[in-house]
Amino acid sequence: MSNEGRNPELRAQFDINYYQFLDNQGTLKNSLPTYLEDDKLQVALYRQMVLTRLLDAKCIALQRTGKMGTYPSTLGQEAVGVGIGYAMTKQDVFAPYYRDMATQLIRGVKIKDILLCWGGDERGNQSEQTPFDLPCCVPIATQVTHAAGIASAIKIRHEKHAVVSTLGDGATSRGDFAESINLAGAWQLPLVVVINNNQWAISVPREVQTAAQTLAQKGIAGEVRCEQVDGCDVLAVYDAVKRALAHAYEGKGPTLIEAITYRLCDHTTADDATRYSPSDGLKKGWEKEPIKRYRSFLHSKKLWDEHKETALFEQCEQQINTAVQEYLDTEPQPPEAMFDYLYEELPRSLKEQRQQLIDKTREAQP
Amino acid sequence: MNHAANTETVNATENSFESAKDPVKESSQEITMVEAVNLAMAYEMRMDENVVILGEDVGTNGGVFRATDGLKAEFGLRRVMDTPLAETLIAGITVGMASQGLRPIAEIQFMGFIFATMEHIICHAARLRNRTRGRLSCPMVLRAPFGGGIHAPEHHSESTEAIFAHTAGLRVVVPSSPVRAYGLLLAAIRDPDPVIFLEPKRIYRISKQTIEDNGEALPLDVCFTLREGQDITLISWGAMILETLQAANQLTESGHSVEVIDVATISPLDIDTILSSVKKTGRCVIIHEAAKNCGVGAEISAQISERALLSLQAPIKRVTGYDTIMPYFRNEKYYMPSTKDIVKAAMETLHYE
Ligand SMILES: Cc1ncc(C[n+]2csc(CCOP(=O)(O)OP(=O)(O)O)c2C)c(N)n1
Ligand SMILES: [Mg+2]
């Protein structure tokens, strides 16, 4: 049956905007707002993206040589993490997922801590530099609900800062995400949710996750301000998050940002993307990658040259190698450490088990 | 299931275990446990068009452990479905499909992500038959790899089978070898009620066995006696069967006669096999990777105490994981029970006066 001749009233209509400053070649497509015309900031964004990429390569090398565990690469997605990290203030709270090393580094997490985490040591999450940020979250999309809770706490206490949470494209299929977005709209929470749409959830392509034209529009049902940005354009990401945070600080409510990227790597070091991913996707992905285009942009502005590039690489390598050495030199926790943070105070019944483990370890030593 | 039938099955299993003695048959092949899982699903999908597979990355990728490798190519998109990334959804649609007579096999990528399914499993799958007084049922299988020892990230190593064992209306099945994975999974798919099929991923590829791809299921709701003995009973399931058998070897070398039971279906429990063994040996050690507190070992131990206390010549011992959160992998080895721990507990039990 068609709806012909029924004359409905128009009740709502929606648009999704896409933001980009730099095209794939690094040419400025739209003029920058004045606050982005900041040479120091522009160079800092570049340096951080390079550090992220070099550290990423090191992490993969460590995993391949048995010195670290499974690791999710950020290759090709550096602009998302760096844009978010620079847009946030110290007071804001970050609720990351597992592919967020770039932002965590800017927040103050040490390289050594990142390595400890993926090297199978809880102390990597101890990070004193980020007292209220949540640690890297593995159960998909659950962090978004916690972020909504943090945003609620901020609102209850009449505080002025905001929360940023991240997730992948696949993660937007989970109820945790939809429920949080709904709440954020209903309660007008100071929450910014950024989707790193890298086109894949392990082997499942974005089109298989949802029939929706954009992931950004998933905010519409909850009356959440939403937009798409070029996630390989660090200036666009920075600007989108900055605007979203300003909106939140003013008490105007949440924003959902879909950052379009491409995963230029396997899902993790445990994955083999050649099983499912056609190589032309990867080729197109490389054309958009964030660092090369941004370097061209800085070159054109005379903010960067080969000299600086060489110096930066050397500096990053040194910083990374020092941290790697610190990581490799870190003694494992004693076995009984597994008991030490279960509760504020260890219950009596567990003290006995803890002692048994200590005795057993001692016996095993010659 | 009577005891005689059980023993027969055991013998069949043991024979395939020692395949070297048999002339290798045409359709038999040396395969790993994860390949056996794949083989069982493929067999049943060929036999019964109601069998469908769904989950994350189960299609083109063949599952992150390759358990569904090649199945999409053979059976197509309509029967091997990559779902959106949503475990609550996966469990819910599986219940819906099963209620209409399909026989869905849902894969949860790791048991650490099974918790979002619980509302559907506990409030619906386990109860549909009861709630409708038999009008509807839920012949589904929820598969998930579980357990530690593979140096995985957080939430990829826990053993939380007891949570499901505590729920009435479910079967909870854990294979411990390629042969039992093949036979038990076939039984689980054919079972008219929901089965939580937990695959110990540490032993997915640890060894191979000869399997004849003949569609012969092994019985659910029975324990498998892997080794007969007189002095002590070692009871375990899943990956810990490996250490348990190693311990049994060491104990045998030092002159003890050891009986080893693979519980296999941890709920509903085949207590008869366990009781008759313990009544014979008078001593037993229960071994599981999961935490001790409210673990399945507690239930086994309680039932032995209730029904065979006077046959016991020593207190029941449990060798288990600690009542802690599974440590990140750098220290996970301290969490997992070892062969040495089992031997030590068994020796204390054997020498108890
Ligand atoms: C609840 C849950 N289910 C499954 C997994 C296993 N898993 C890890 S990453 C992943 C895909 C995530 O894809 P996406 O959300 O797009 O993020 P990406 O990794 O691509 O950045 C899956 C299924 C998990 N970690 N948590
Ligand atoms: Mg993705």
Q: Report how far residue B121's alpha carbon sits from residue B195's, in angstroms, rounded to the nearest whole number.
A: 10
Taking CA atoms, A173 is separated from A81, A236, B89, B283, in Å, by: 21, 25, 9, 51
Check A86, A263, A294, A327 and give the catalytic one: A263
Give yes or no on whether B28-211 and B224-350 have one common fold. yes
Architecture of domain A9-333: 3-Layer(aba) Sandwich (3.40)
| Cβ-based neighbours of A16, under 8 Å, separated by 6 or more | A213, A214, A216, A217, A226, A227, A228
- The DSSP code for B296 is H
Which pLDDT belongs to residue A235?
98
Delimit the domains of chain B by residue range.
28-211, 224-350
Look at A119 and B112 and tell me if their CB atoms are within 8 Å.
no
Q: What is the mean pLDDT of residues B312-320?
A: 98
User: Which single residue is written with the structure tokens 């024979």?
Assistant: B15
CA B306: distance to chain centroid?
25
Report yes or no for ipTM above 0.90.
Answer: yes
Under a CB-based contact definition with an 8 Å cutoff, are residues B279 and B304 in contact?
no
Summarize pLDDT for A303-335 with one digit per residue, the tens.
999 999 999 999 999 999 999 999 999 999 999
Catalytic residue status for A98: no
| Cβ-based neighbours of B72, under 8 Å, separated by 6 or more | B58, B59, B60, B62, B80
Which residues, judged by CB distance below 6 Å to any ligand atom, belong to the binding site of ligand 1? A 99, 138-140, 168-171, 196, 198, 200-202, 263, 267; B 56, 85, 87, 109, 113
Summarize pLDDT for B294-306 with one digit per residue, the tens.
999 999 999 999 9
pLDDT bin (cut points 50, 70, 90) of residue B26 is low
Q: Which two tokens stand for residue A354?
A: 């803890």
Which pLDDT belongs to residue B292?
98
Q: Treating both helix axes as pointing N-terminal to C-terminal, what angle do A111-118 and A306-329 enclose, rounded to 10 degrees?
A: 50
**Helix or strand or coil: residue B286?**
strand
Which residues in A have their CB inside 8 Å of a CB on B?
A: 69-70, 98, 117-122, 138-140, 170-171, 173-175, 201-204, 208-210, 270-271, 275-276, 332-333, 335, 337-339, 342, 349-350, 353, 357, 360-361
**Closest chain B residue to the Cα of A349, Cα to Cα:** B323
Residue A210 sits at φ, ψ, to 5 deg, of: -155, 150
Delimit the domains of chain A by residue range.
9-333, 336-366
- Among A98, A140, A260, the mutation site with the greatest number of ligand 1 atoms within 8 A of its Cβ is A140
- Preceding omega of B139 cis (within 30 degrees of 0): no
Q: Which atom of ligand 1 is nearest to the CA of A201?
A: 13
Counting as low any pLDDT under 70, the low residues of chain A are none
Under a CB-based contact definition with an 8 Å cutoff, are residues A180 and A172 in contact?
no
Q: Say if domain B224-350 classifies as CATH 3.90.700.10.
A: no
Q: Is B254 on the interface with A (CB under 8 A)?
A: no
What is the A39 CA–ligand 2 centroid distance (Å)?
32
What is the A1 CA–ligand 2 centroid distance (Å)?
39
Summarize pLDDT for B222-275 with one digit per residue, the tens.
999 999 999 999 999 999 999 999 999 999 999 999 999 999 999 999 999 999
Residues in chain A with CB shorter than 8 Å from the CB of B116 are 174-175
Catalytic residue status for A276: yes
For residue B18, pLDDT beyond 50: no
Q: Is B321 on the interface with A (CB under 8 A)?
A: no
Residues in chain B with CB shorter than 8 Å from the CB of A350 are 323-324
Q: Which atom of ligand 1 is nearest to the CA of A202?
A: 11
Mean pLDDT of the residues in chain B: 93
Summarize pLDDT for B323-348 with one digit per residue, the tens.
999 999 999 999 999 999 999 999 99
Q: Report how far residue B204's alpha carbon sits from residue A74's, in angstroms, rounded to the nearest whole number.
A: 29
Summarize pLDDT for B78-109 with one digit per residue, the tens.
999 999 999 999 999 999 999 999 999 999 99
Higher pLDDT, A116 or B6: A116
Residue numbers of B annotated as active site:
156
Residues in chain A with CB shorter than 8 Å from the CB of B84 are 170, 173, 204, 208-210
Which pLDDT belongs to residue A1?
79
For residue B17, pLDDT beyond 70: no
pLDDT bin (cut points 50, 70, 90) of residue B8 is very low
Q: What is the 3-state secondary structure (H, E, C) of chain A?
A: CCCCCCCCCCCCCCCCCEECCECCCCCECCCCCHHHCCHHHHHHHHHHHHHHHHHHHHHHHHHHCCCCCCCCCCCCCHHHHHHHHHHCCCCCEEECCCCCHHHHHHHCCCHHHHHHHHCCCHHHHCCCCCCCCCCCCCCCCHHHHHHHHHHHHHHHCCCCCCEEEEEECHHHHCHHHHHHHHHHHHCCCCEEEEEEECCEECCEEHHHHCCCCCCHHHHHHHCCEEEEEECCCHHHHHHHHHHHHHHHHCCCCCEEEEEECCCCCCCCCCCCHHHCCCHHHHHHHHHHCHHHHHHHHHHHCCCCCHHHHHHHHHHHHHHHHHHHHHHHHCCCCCHHHHHCCCCCCCCHHHHHHHHHHHHHHHHHCC
**Helix or strand or coil: residue B101?**
coil
Q: Which two tokens stand for residue B108?
A: 């949860």
Instruction: Please provide the CATH number assigned to the domain covering B28-211.
Output: 3.40.50.970
